[in-house]
Amino acid sequence: MRKLPKEFNKLGERFYQDIDEEISTRPELVNFLLQGLSKQDRQRLKPFLDSIVDPNRCSGEELLRLWHATPTSFYALDSEDLRLLLREIRAKLD
């Protein structure tokens, strides 16, 4: 398995159980998740996200293993939903 950057762990940590009940829209969710990352964190996270949002470079199974290795307490996403969310997060980093 790939080594998780600390920035990806920070992102996962912000994704807690019941977050979907408190934050109703995807853009709000993305913004909330990114609030916990500094500008440097965001820059360091980009190449990692680039490598895992591409299904040719990271299978759905591996993506879920990586996500579940973070300190997240939210596991309700399947691999495709997670990949879409991470793509949206990655797009906001530019």
Residues spanned by the domain of 19:
6-92
Any domain includes 73? yes
Q: Is residue 70 in some structural domain?
A: yes
Domains of the chain: total: 1
Taking alpha carbons only, the member of 91, 57, 62 closest to residue 79 is: 62
1 domain-assigned: no
- Is there a domain that residue 11 lies in? yes
The pLDDT value recorded for residue 19 is 86
CA distance 12 to 33: 8
Query: 72 in a domain, yes or no?
Result: yes
The reply to whether 20 falls in a domain is: yes
**Tens digit of pLDDT for each residue in 28-87?**
999 999 998 999 999 999 999 999 999 999 999 999 999 999 998 887 789 999 999 999
